Structure 1
């Protein structure tokens, strides 16, 4: 697992190659196995491979989403927010699992935050995406996960990148790693 985490980096440049259905199914099976608070499974996953829709999703935020237009696949991670007050945590866990499952299949990915962001001065990113995709108001969107074959090489992390000083032991002031 450590090797996978060291290797995974956010990918914003994708090749145009279509992702095989088997790989997409694997991503979704992994997502559906994500833990959730009290097994409420509030998360929902919308698979987008239509280039026109992906292009429209690329303007879902004021900044930080334009690279989406070149992604061959986007998974919209949302939740039935009335099922649990832990939907943000549950969708975040599922989003992370999708990204790790993508890396395991040699696919790149990048998280695009939607919850709490704006599409324009007056329109939230959440309402923009929901209207575009015909989603009901009972659903809230956490993120868009862009996925594709990497068209950029990033140096993997190394153990030297780990911030060991962030870990305490028994008390806050005693460090675990010395």
Structure 2
């Protein structure tokens, strides 16, 4: 199985919600914005956004996504955001969608992928978002932290290559 990406998320939504077609990357009619959600289903009033690493590194992206969430929520949509370091499993499907499903991506949660951008590269808003995500995904928090510890070891125990000083206590 592959690391979750925005494209793969579309395939996963088709498996988890077989009776519902999701619209990908299209403007929401009557939204008053030209911004486009990653995936949308109007019958479920559900928008699913994949938060890649730019959602933690670029202030303009973080702010834009906050605006999108408010806009779509005000329209009655439930907005689900999935961080790039979280995989789809029965546990996360239950948490994200309040749905029981046995789909699982065997790829581990966390910063496992060789090309994964690490928290040391997040800006301050991204660090805050990351800490909120760790709390939101409490059920897999230990796996995410474990992946960070492994990255520190892989970087000759140079913790600053993985975590900024403000959150290094996560691995104590």
Larger relative contact order (Cα-Cα within 8 Å, sequence gap ≥ 6): 1
Scaled by the length of structure 1, the TM-score of the pair is: 0.27
TM-score (norm 2): 0.27
Give the helix-richer structure, 1 or 2: 2
Task: State which structure, 1 or 2, has the greater radius of gyration over its C-alpha atoms.
Answer: 1
